Structure 1
């Protein structure tokens, strides 16, 4: 492994340095299109110190954890950095966006509190009222905390400068319900990775990042908040709900703030190309935009080309999109293509890849052609390897399990030693659960061993959808399989449900409507298709485990026979 030399000892050291530098760069929160709230780094540091004092009033101290359940905005920033300033480790979870979702979220929040055992939960007044008692856990109103801090009603807390092995934060793995695993990120992990990303992208104090990604997500947190702070550049954050309602707002912010850097999953580029009309772009100039990470879900070259072609006339550079691969267990990125390089992809034989785990190049018009995007070489200091089912390392152009190791690799899952042990494979290698191959030292992703469904960059546990569907009368218990399906011309995976039922065919439409309502209400994700099948149609192993890949091929891909 190549030695790294981070320019700061921790993100807290970086915050102190930024405050003392006299920099005029700002972090800006844009909760609404007409309202931008900016703070220079010295003001961010002051806010964090006073928020830390308020947390300390509630008993939060070094080694503790706090849980943040807030939208993107200054209360989130105050809670996150305030926790670090007083020596605690923040973890964050999505805030429900509707009343119905909030009512169902109460149980999940209690499970998270039981798992993380936080000293405090920082959330909204509405969530505090809806949630009620959380045993011995203190509930803090994030807006009230910022108001007190901004009014200087408390003195700043003394800064706790952490050691490398102390926790910087806990990243909760994605899931719409249930208790996620907490990825422990040490200050050593975080600061090493921020240096890796800085070297890989050339991110500097001259850059201004503009992000709509949620701050509870690793990509949004790192690219939207932590990298700007680490490098001393500017950062602009808008809520993800604004992007989904009016995606052109992101482009307007890029133009207005002269943004240079950003990140987004693959679906966002197709979403922009399809939803943004010419009349939405009056006055927009994207010529300052030099790099945008594309990760969190499979990269579709057609989608990226549509995006760049669509916005070229507004100054967008042709190779602004940078394919990459990563996971929360690496803080964020594992591999990355060089900025400004043209996107590269292989066209390989799908059957050889699936049946023999071999990479065989074919012509683009082959009926078995599969396009696989080059996601780049490992970032400096990270090692990567491909192994077979027995753990033997494979050469290039051989498809197998992806493993990595390096200074950003998580120290493990919080309070889950068995899960941590199962993810490790000797000499520090971490099993990603994904499958791919190396070519000329660069990584290509062909699939994943895990069963997660990835929709618009967010991971979902199939069981979430399956359990919701099973609550509907007429659905056989244990007879639902949820799978993600990426259409050949699609931008993101779509949710398909395969459902066993004994109801007559004339009742299927009514049953589909009930399942759609139940799944949407519980998870917030509506199924694109619900495939009704007779009882005992879903393939299972001899031990009773669902064979998800075979189910997808048989009922979703159009296969009618095993």
Structure 2
């Protein structure tokens, strides 16, 4: 076992478990008043006590075994409803089956692209059974034809069996819990191998040291997608291990009505929640005065923010607007992590104030050095806390030498939370012989506090200066007419030098005027005008299924002349409906063939004799 769990001795009511399988068994010992609460799309709630959650995992685990699945087999999951997702995931965990969560196809406009990527993940992971939400099998049966190792598609409503039929399995700390496929914001998704030992090491870091969670006292609220590490590890596996209550809001409900997030925190008197930077900006814009007057958020002691670069102005506007609810500014808890570290790398402690550095923007752009501002243009960087206990952080230059405090370089991470590898292999290019994980992210340290400033591969080099794309994007996002969170800045070759292309979404009727404003803003920020400004309709900027901007894909589409034409995030067009119809037809045919010739090893051998 790679880690020591001495932190638990200081947390009353938390039992140390060697595996998450063991932690799941311990739910029988939890008070019947403690568990998970699930909202539906209308906001109606259903409470499931922890012992009942374990009982349901036994029933679903037995049903998976009845399908012929055994320990180590891969179960693909395209499940929308949070309660259904968690019950199915824990059913797999209960019998040692390895879940492979996939995002559902939210937008019909990119169904073909989704199908290609999902099929690649199912093939790469070795998935043999795909569990889907009720009604989705009509779309997903076509995958049985496309993915050689996929034997069948089942709806989660069919995963019902007598718990007494469950065959117990032995689970070790080094065994896989699930495969976490990266979001694809910087490339093709890869399957991070998440084991019991690596996950528990990380859970101790964020649930214990950073958040100081207390069972029976703290309660969480989350609308985050459960297919994402922040939603799944941060609000399901961590709280399950700690036996902390959580209320789950369906992600689609939040997207339709974002104020339901704070409404739920207010009503449940919750103490902890988490969200990406964009959610705080969005909520600041839509929150109504009458709600702010009614909400009482004084119980909140940690509102985590991470998953994307942190924008000081966004968070400042949020805390200023929500001050009247009793929300204290110091409850904001910046954090940094990535799938390859399971979840967290560094986090501000909930008992400490948020650190903000006001620095000379020009000096940082030109030299990569964080120096206090002395007049002129300033830039604000938010600290993401110190490394979680039992782990190490370094920031290195291009030659691998450790950078001095305040000097920008690549962030390296080492410790028991580092993944054991990718399902597809290739992790040796990221993890060196001494166990240091190259994150690909840029940042700097000051007295152990980590400041994250962007990704190395996204850097824009103009006249020898390294410029983070966020420096441009955040300023452009402030302009009237620009849809916030949709601006992408990338570097392109222009004759003999590098130029900047800015792409954005807008509903403006005067695109030319907006382009002129963008060009003037870019020149003010970096000293040179952009080579091009591209205004696109809503839904055209490529993003991952978790909402992250895909700069590499946007750059490729721009250079190939396909920007805005390779599928859209919006739904409802005739073309999209036709693509859906074609997918359903393929699925119907695949299911009909399966009913005649079930796809299994012996049958395949017989058909090929």
**Structures share a fold, TM > 0.5?**
yes
Question: Following superposition of structure 1 onto structure 2, how do residues 286-301 of structure 1 map, counting pairs within 5 Å?
Answer: 286-301=297-312
- 1:75 matched residue in structure 2: 84
Q: Choose the corresponding residue for 1:18, options 27, 34, 56.
A: 27
- 1:331 matched residue in structure 2: 342
Q: Choose the corresponding residue for 2:449, options 428, 438, 442.
A: 442
CA distance in 2, matches of 1:444, 1:245: 33
Contact 2:61 2:94 in 1 (8 A): yes
**Aligned-residue offset at 1:357:** 3.0
CA distance in 2, matches of 1:534, 1:212: 33
Contact 1:200 1:380 in 2 (8 A): no
- 2:406 matched residue in structure 1: 397
Question: Following superposition of structure 1 onto structure 2, how do residues 305-454 of structure 1 map, counting pairs within 5 Å?
Answer: 305-363=316-374, 365-367=375-377, 369-416=378-425, 418=426, 420-451=427-458
Secondary structure in 1 aligned to 2:330? Answer: coil
- 1:9 matched residue in structure 2: 18
- 1:120 matched residue in structure 2: 129
Contact 2:222 2:231 in 1 (8 A): yes
Gaps of 5+ in 2: 9-15, 461-468, 479-483, 495-510, 513-532, 562-609
Out of 175-184 and 423-432, give the one that drifted further.
Answer: 175-184
Contact 2:30 2:243 in 1 (8 A): no
- 1:554 matched residue in structure 2: none
**Aligned-residue offset at 1:536:** 12
Question: Following superposition of structure 1 onto structure 2, how do residues 84-483 of structure 1 map, counting pairs within 5 Å?
Answer: 84-102=93-111, 104-133=113-142, 134=144, 135-145=148-158, 148=160, 153=162, 155=164, 157-175=166-184, 179-197=188-206, 198-205=208-215, 206-280=217-291, 283-363=294-374, 365-367=375-377, 369-416=378-425, 418=426, 420-451=427-458
Out of 133-142 and 80-89, give the one that drifted further.
Answer: 133-142
CA distance in 1, matches of 2:294, 2:198: 41
Contact 1:252 1:281 in 2 (8 A): no
CA distance in 2, matches of 1:424, 1:528: 24
The answer as to 2:59 corresponding to 1:50 is: yes
CA distance in 2, matches of 1:115, 1:528: 22
- 2:516 matched residue in structure 1: none
Contact 1:75 1:145 in 2 (8 A): no
CA distance in 2, matches of 1:513, 1:493: 12
CA distance in 1, matches of 2:294, 2:229: 32
CA distance in 2, matches of 1:522, 1:316: 32
The 3 A distance-change label for structure 1 pair 521 and 428 is closer
CA distance in 1, matches of 2:29, 2:322: 40
Cα distance per residue 1:321-377 (max 9 Å; x no partner): 1111111111111111121432221122334334333332223x522x222111111
- 1:494 matched residue in structure 2: 487
**Aligned-residue offset at 1:181:** 0.5
CA distance in 1, matches of 2:168, 2:274: 31
**Aligned-residue offset at 1:209:** 0.7
Secondary structure in 1 aligned to 2:353? Answer: coil
Cα distance per residue 1:156-205 (max 9 Å; x no partner): 62443421111111111003798411111110001111111122210120
Contact 2:233 2:343 in 1 (8 A): yes
**Aligned-residue offset at 1:406:** 0.8
Contact 2:486 2:549 in 1 (8 A): no
**Aligned-residue offset at 1:267:** 1.0
Secondary structure in 2 aligned to 1:412? Answer: coil
CA distance in 1, matches of 2:387, 2:549: 36
Secondary structure in 1 aligned to 2:56? Answer: helix
The 3 A distance-change label for structure 1 pair 414 and 277 is same
The 3 A distance-change label for structure 1 pair 136 and 424 is closer
The 3 A distance-change label for structure 1 pair 142 and 43 is farther
Cα distance per residue 1:6-42 (max 9 Å; x no partner): 6211222111112223342021111223321221011
**Aligned-residue offset at 1:3:** 4.0
**Aligned-residue offset at 1:516:** 4.6
TM-score (norm 1): 0.79
The answer as to 2:66 corresponding to 1:65 is: no
Secondary structure in 2 aligned to 1:486? Answer: helix
The answer as to 2:43 corresponding to 1:34 is: yes
- 1:545 matched residue in structure 2: none
TM-score (norm 2): 0.73
- 2:579 matched residue in structure 1: none
CA distance in 1, matches of 2:333, 2:227: 22
Count matched residues.
491
CA distance in 2, matches of 1:303, 1:137: 45
CA distance in 2, matches of 1:438, 1:101: 40
CA distance in 1, matches of 2:445, 2:334: 15
Contact 2:126 2:149 in 1 (8 A): no
Gaps of 5+ in 1: 454-482, 502-507, 538-562
